[in-house]
Structure 1
Amino acid sequence: MPKTEVPVQKNEYYDLTFEDLTHEGAGVAKVQGFPIFVQNVLPGESAKVKIIKVKKGFAFGRLMALTEESPERVEAPCPIYKECGGCQLQHLSYKGQLDFKQKQVENVLSRIGKLDLDRITVHPTLGMNDPWNYRNKAQVPVGEREGALVAGFYQQRSHEIIDMQKCLIQQAENDDVVQAVKEICSRRGIRAYKEETHKGWLRHIMVRYGQVSGEMMVVFVTRTNDFPHKTEIIEEITSRFGQVKSIVQNINIKRTNVIFGDETNVLWGEEYIYDSIGDIRFAISARSFYQVNPEQTKVLYDKALEYAELTGEETVIDAYCGIGTISLFLAQKAKKVYGVEIVPEAIEDAKRNAELNGLNNAEFGVGEAEVVIPNWYKQGIKADTIVVDPPRKGCDEALLKTILDMKPKRVVYVSCNPGTLARDLQVLEQGGYETVEVQPVDMFPQTMHCEAVAKIVLKEETDA
């Protein structure tokens, strides 16, 4: 078979015009239909590009010079933006980011979901008044350089840690504590874990911050269960930061890049810190899943609640309920809420949070949503509304089948991946549902990530 000719060559220079962005934030240009991916360029821009890697179906290039700039281009304020892999869109104006995310949702609904956008409203993305310093959880790997500890995000497509003094999308309080912990441990000769040799002790530093409560938790993720200089380190942290209410050690003995191990011990203070989203208060442990942008979480959940159209008489099932965040919002307006989550610790947190808020109409079960909900259905539990908030891979086929069998009047789909949202909406539409509207919500400004919530109704309801 003759070898297919690739229209670009490594180390050659090309003048390109960019038409789109990938889900990782790289600009996309084409030469004779052959895609070239280049960082730090925007749609509509033209540039001189050097090809640095050629694959069978695509190539990577390096930006050498911009020849035509987008009107939406801005100067990225972060000094390590081009090296760090944490953000992808700081060079795009915030209005440009919101417009791009709306178009991204429209594109996948049409291309992947094959949905008719003439009958579905995709609203403008709901953004933040101040799209900086929003993350309430800092979780950074630790390394060593020139005899001192470094901590920060990984460089793009590498395991090289970019040492970070502050992160512009983190709460400033988290930055201060991470820097202090790094300095305190460095001064005492604490060694960083090295994945390649499986030596060293400190793997990650995690800091959680309650935006409403002001409470903080510090988590040391370590290779072994000992803790050198424990008393002195704890004393120095707590004396410098009065808002720290909990210091925790998680032990990860495995040779892996997965962050957490199986064992978690409270070293000082409480097992939980507390925070609130709207009127609901949450107890947050070291390993709790809790949204990192509580301000936008309330925007997202308020929209989910609006789409559920609850009157107080409904039975609601919340699939993938986590620690009960959406369930408890729903329980304020519903007759009964059933939540299901595969992580046992999350369900314990959910039960505790229901009790904390005096909500006795929420019941939680442990297991895979695609197993538990069909069993509930067989037992006679039938939902008027089902809310799904699945992981990035979307809903399991068995869960979608159960929804179609159960025929709730409404489905509210909260999505962290527009692509799998579009795929699942197509299944629901083919099974007798109609997507009415989709609301993108910018949970993660300066990044490519986009959340969305979709209102889906049974066609009998729309025909009535």
Structure 2
Amino acid sequence: MFIVKKGDSYTAKIVDLTHDGMGVAKIDGYPLFLSNALVGEEVRLKVIKVGKNYGIARVEERISDSPERVALKDKLGFQTGTMPLQHLSYEGQLRFKQKQVKEAFKRIGHLDVEVELTLGAKRQEGYRNKAQIPLQNKKGQIETGIYRARSHDLIPMTDYYIQYKEIDQNILKVRDILREAGLEAYDERTHRGYLRHLVVRYSQRCQQLMLIFVTRTSSSEPLLQLLDRLTKECPHLVSVVQNIQSEKTNKILGQKTKVLWGKDYYEEDLMGLSFHISPLSFFQVNTEQAERLYQEAIDFSQVTAEDTVFDLYCGLGSMTLPFAKKAKKVYGIEVVKEAIEQAKLNAQLNGIDNVHFEAGKCEDLLPVWVEEKDLRPDLIVVDPPRKGLDPVVRESILKVQAKRIVYVSCHPGSLARDVADLVAGGYKVEKVQPVDMFPQTSHVESVVLMSRVAPTK
């Protein structure tokens, strides 16, 4: 048997792309994964890592180029993993994401469904409204940037390409203020140092900026001394927040948050509604595409003024409230209590009173709503985390026997698994629409419409 070894060089053709956008070459059947390589390209490669099932290689020379190849925006986008598809034309990216969804349905769900071409974004750069930036000490001063892929080696950056330019500019302003103040970044090896991360949230529509400093200790004094400069030098600043993460962990945010200056929220406009967003609240990071995603969900649902709707995993109400403008009544469930309180406030802010929010796990509350309160929705909307629906939630959804289900997903694999279970329980897939929320990356969101075909008991 032919054995591929680290350091070997080969000439090979790229035959496929992995789900995260790496090129695939095969040497005697053994797969090698490479960044910055497209299907059909012939490359000279060098093996840099060998595993049991696959290896990692580096492109030493491209012998031929794919017609889908475009000029790189920034090589650092490969090193950090922030832009793994930047070398692929945008039309090619949309087809790639369509294929990911289609293959997940076939491979995981064992369903042969038609998948629409991915809905593209008007902005393929500068679209993110949030950044989570690690801080490290480099050459005697604090540095901002992004970790090298699969490491905690910080690569300093000044242009992140996929974030709002206002966010990039404020990262540099804050970095300079921290440097001049002589503050020390956290060192994960020694568990010493003060500043761990800088989180920046910004609304271009409302022109409001929130800065969140993640610190190792609960002391606020070092940050309080910076407030005068921050408020003078960071345009549109409305909130300065401290989050304490004292654990030895890779998790960015801790449980405790303190507002040091300004409001405990910033404002965003979405779907003709106003939202207050607190420091730790989940909100789609691409505001423009979130509107397209939610509009697709509303259009798919064919919701009317006679419909009762369940919105599972509702967050702060960013999809619940647009549905409430069309429906008779909407019930929302969310596990994060603070998000439910925010959802209630957002409903009041927009004068929407045909909503009911409850805090708790969907797998706990949904059976109660169905079996004890006898609530029977016409439509169920789900927007779960990457892991998808809990088995208890899937069972409860099937017991409800709603006429229609709209599933909004951020992970094709869990989507395909859940949809297959719902199909087995009496539903039919009507339409699958991928939406590109993250241009230049391999991530894809999807909206799926399902209708009940088994007779309602």
Does the TM-score normalized on the shorter chain lie above 0.5?
A: yes
Tell me if the contact between 1:190 and 1:228 (Cα under 8 Å) persists in the aligned partners: no
Cα drift, residue 79 of structure 1: 5.0
Cα contact 2:19–2:100 (8 A) shared by 1: no
1:52 matched to 2:48? The reply is yes
3-state SS of 1:204 partner: strand
Does structure 1 residue 86 correspond to structure 2 residue 79? Answer: no
Identify the match of residue 457 of structure 1 among 447, 451, 455.
451
- Aligned-partner SS, 1:168: coil
Could you tell me how far apart the structure 2 residues matched to 1:276 and 1:32 are? 55
Shift of the alpha carbon at 1:21? 1.8
339, 355, 358: which one pairs with 1:365? Answer: 358
Pick one of 403, 415, 418 that aligns with 1:409. 403
* Contact kept? 1:85, 1:153, Cα under 8 Å: no
Mapping 1:249-288, distance limit 5 Å: 249-288=242-281
Matching of residues 232-251 of structure 1 within 5 Å: 232-251=225-244
SS in 2 for 1:254: coil
CA distance in 2, matches of 1:333, 1:169: 33
- What per-residue deviation string (whole Å, max 9, x for no partner) do you get for residues 118-161 of structure 1? xxx31111111221100001111100110111112110111111
Q: Secondary structure at the match of 1:190?
A: coil
Task: Tell me how far apart the structure 2 counterparts of residues 359 and 7 of structure 1 sit (CA, whole Å).
Answer: 65
Q: How far apart in 2 are the matches of 1:341 and 1:7?
A: 51
* Separation of aligned partners in 1, 2:2 and 2:347: 59
State the distance in 1 between where 2:56 and 2:76 align: 21
| Partner of residue 146, structure 2 | 153
Q: Does 1:35 align with 2:31?
A: yes
Q: d(CA) in 2 for partners of 1:411 and 1:29? A: 40
8 Å CA contact 1:165–1:175 kept in 2: the answer is: yes
AA paired with 1:459? V
| Distance of 2:178 and 2:127 partners within structure 1 | 27
Q: Tell me the residue number matched to 2:110.
A: 114
How far apart are the structure 1 equivalents of 2:416 and 2:29? 26
CA RMSD of superposed structures (Å): 1.4
Is 1:11 the equivalent of 2:4? no
CA distance in 1, matches of 2:137, 2:120: 37
Q: In the alignment, is the contact (CA less than 8 A) between 1:195 and 1:257 conserved in 2?
A: no
SS in 1 for 2:358: strand
Shift of 1:6: 5.7
2:326 partner amino acid: K
Offset at 1:24? 2.5
Residue 165 of structure 1 pairs with residue 158 of structure 2: yes
Partner residue, 2:130: 137
Alpha-carbon displacement from aligned partner over 1:382-436 (angstroms, at most 9, x marks no partner): 1111111111111111111111111100000000001111111111111110001
1:26 aligns with 2:19: no
Q: Is 1:429 the equivalent of 2:414?
A: no
Letter in 2 for 1:130: R
Q: Deviations over 1:340-366 (max 9, x none)?
A: 111111111111111111111111111
Identity of aligned residues (%): 45
The residue type paired with residue 100 of structure 1 is F
Among candidates 379, 397, 400, match of residue 391 of structure 2: 397
Query: 1:6/1:380 Cα in 2 relative to 1: closer, same or farther (>3 Å)?
Result: farther
Corresponding letter in the other structure for 2:122: N
What is the CA distance between 1:310 and its match in structure 2? Answer: 0.8
CA contact (8 A) 1:144 1:192 kept: yes
**What CA distance in whole angstroms lies between the structure 2 residues aligned with 1:107 and 1:364?**
36
Deviation at 1:34, TM superposition (A): 2.2
Contact 2:173 2:234 in 1 (8 A): no
**SS of residue matched to 1:135:** coil
How far apart are residue 193 of structure 1 and its match? 0.4
One-letter code of the match for 1:104? Q
Instruction: Please give the TM-score of this superposition, normalised by the length of structure 1.
Output: 0.95
Residue-pair matches, total? 455
Rounded to whole Å, the distance in 2 between the matches of 1:398 and 1:103 is: 30
Give, in whole Å, the separation in 1 of the partners of 2:363 and 2:65.
Answer: 48
TM-score under structure 2 length normalisation: 0.97
Quote the Cα distance in structure 1 between the aligned partners of 2:413 and 2:2: 29
For structure 2, the 5+ residue unaligned runs are none
SS of aligned partner of 1:57: coil
The residue type equivalent to 1:264 in the other structure is T
Please report how far the alpha carbon of residue 232 of structure 1 lies from its aligned counterpart in structure 2 after TM superposition: 4.0
Gaps of 5+ in 1: none
Secondary structure at 1:281's aligned position in 2?
strand
Cα separation, partners in 2 of 1:400 and 1:175, compared to 1, 3 Å: same
